[in-house]
Amino acid sequence: MTTLSAAPATASNRATTNTPPRLQDFDVIADDVALVEAMAAFGAGDRIAECSVLGRALGSAEGLEAGFAANEHPPVHVPYDRSGVRVDEVRFDPAWHHVMRLAVEHGVAGAVWADSAPGAQVARAAKFIGVAQVEAGATCPLAMTYACVPALRLDPTAAAVWEPLVTSGIYDTRPLPANAKQGALIGMALTEKQGGSDVRANTTVAEPDGDGYRVTGEKWFVSAVHSDALFVLAQTPQGVSCLLVPRRLPDGTDNGWTLDRLKDKLGNRSNATAEVRFEGARALLIGEPGRGVRAIMAMIAGTRQDCVLGSTAVLRTGTIEAIHWCAHRYAFGQRLLDQPAMTAVLADLALESEAASWSALHLARATSDAAAGDPAAATFRRLAAPVLKFWICKRAPLHAAEALECQGGYGYIEESRLPRSYREAPLMSIWEGSGNVQALDVLRAMQREPECVAVLFDELALAGGVNRRLDTAVTQLRDMVAAGVDEARARELTGRMARCLQASLLVRHAPAAVADAYCAGKLEDGGGTLGCLPAGIDAAAIVARHRVAR
């Protein structure tokens, strides 16, 4: 008998001792210390347990795997049924429906508008950040369905039909007309090839027809195209107008939509985005004829806020994945987490994430107060929304790249969550207005509603006299505003406003180690290269605050 000796250790059978375990089975909401503190500070402390139920489901192995599967198996366009009838169906992987059902049933779509509690919008924002960490593609239909309610309320007829559906908290995917549904998703179709952000160049037309309109034209980039209705901008005799176009007519027949193709996108792959043609589709006018941009802005204000939340989720994902990896990975005989150069990078990632969380939830609280009739909150939100949309969405790609680098080669393969997050990061800057659009909107708000500048400085004054660097930055910002800013410096102004606002929130609410580090590292040079914090920063304490201990 031949005796077999043990095989030598090789790459194929050697025990792996230095590969960190997956970060899973955690609470994506309640394990986020900064997010929980911000919830409590802005009136949602009594909602933390409620949010934690969703947070645990999302952070479970099943929840995280659903995010991977939804992304790996994107939607499919089925133009015809087996009988050859044109149906333009969009089929999704079951994982997509798993994430969507969780989100809708936990109030991340429109249900929050039926809840008048002061902390409801803040809790909903925290939930949105949690969902976006698991699969950001699902957040597009959630965001538009949430944001559509103020626009629906511009027309009592539309609101009577659709608001009960979008606020029901029921995920109803059946291909039925509104009168047979229990819940609905609503999107919007604005972009055309020739215009992009310049919607006044649109060529889609809406012709009066009885008590409604008929819409004809093409839209080039329509996300969540499986929605039950779309807000559409079209030319009427009075100019660009806003119309609501149902997917199906009351008798259940299709309403003149044709899907030409689904888009093959850089990221956000689980979300169905299509080129759509309308051929005499019946529609209901929303708002005044010729004032379509004004009407759709009632919706875009909400989707811009959710872009801020989505980017905040990118920052949080990168931070916790990078810290988790470095806590379990050894190099040169020492954990990466304990090596000063890496600790500085991780601390800087955490600072960006925490600043985004505080400012994003503050914006959500302003939304709540504005909806309750607080004029100061509405004025603050008018300026803060484009300011934070510009800054946080611009920081996300830089942050995602640095977080990915912390994981090295593992961060560059699809088993990691970070490649997906990296592809997602630029999107929030593009959707609902690019960086230039936001910066120019800040100038527009200052010119048309100068009171919003006073409200911003009142907000910043709440942190006055505590941090020397912040006081200096606010003075410089005030001088810049007083001197006047032209379009070429709009980005600089917007970035300064964002950093001052974030610093003021951290000074008032966060631990001193966090606030001092942010003011020292972000206010003077804008926080260019991550990991270049000044001497004297308690980087280890900041990292420990943001570590998910698994």
35-70 per-position pLDDT tens digit: 999 999 999 999 999 999 999 999 999 999 999 999
Question: Among the residues of 407-434, which ranges form H helices?
Answer: 418-424, 427-430
Token reading at 198: 């310049």
Q: Give the span between the Cα atoms of 303 and 140, in whole angstroms.
A: 9
Q: Do domains 185-293 and 303-546 have the same CATH topology?
A: no
CATH 3.60.20.10 fits 303-546, yes or no: no
363-378 per-position pLDDT tens digit: 999 999 999 999 999 9
* Residue from 96, 134, 112 nearest 44 by CA: 112
Give the three-class secondary structure for 223: strand
* Residue from 330, 305, 504 nearest 392 by CA: 305
Question: Among the residues of 329-339, which ranges form H helices?
Answer: none
Q: Residue 30's pLDDT is what?
A: 98
φ/ψ (deg, to 5) at 39 = -60, -45
Q: Which residues contact 515 (CB under 8 A, 6 or more apart)?
A: 467, 503, 506, 507
The answer to whether 249 touches 176, Cβ cutoff 8 Å, is no
Q: Residue 200's pLDDT is what?
A: 81
Least confident of 1-15, 81-95, 100-114, 144-158: 1-15
Token reading at 144: 């538009």
Give the three-class secondary structure for 8: coil
What are the sequence ranges of the domains in the chain? 33-166, 185-293, 303-546
Query: Would you give the distance in Å from CA 416 to the centre of its chain?
Result: 21
Q: Which helix (H) or strand (E) element contains residue 446?
A: helix 435-448
Least confident of 6-20, 72-86, 119-133: 6-20
Query: Would you give the distance in Å from CA 363 to the centre of its chain?
Result: 13
Q: Give the span between the Cα atoms of 347 and 539, in whole angstroms.
A: 5
Q: Which residue has the tokens 């801020």?
A: 308
208-257 per-position pLDDT tens digit: 999 999 999 999 999 999 999 999 999 999 999 999 999 999 999 999 99
297-306 per-position pLDDT tens digit: 999 999 999 9
Q: Which CATH number fits domain 185-293: 2.40.50.140, 2.40.110.20, 3.10.450.230, 2.40.160.40?
A: 2.40.110.20
The answer to whether 420 touches 403, Cβ cutoff 8 Å, is no
Token reading at 481: 């505003």
* Residue from 75, 237, 252 nearest 178 by CA: 252
Q: Give the span between the Cα atoms of 257 and 281, in whole angstroms.
A: 7
∠ at Cα 137 (40, 201), nearest 5°?
105
In percent, how much of the chain has pLDDT > 90?
Answer: 91
In percent, how much of the chain has pLDDT > 70?
Answer: 97
The answer to whether 493 touches 439, Cβ cutoff 8 Å, is yes
Give the three-class secondary structure for 331: strand
φ/ψ (deg, to 5) at 80 = -130, 150
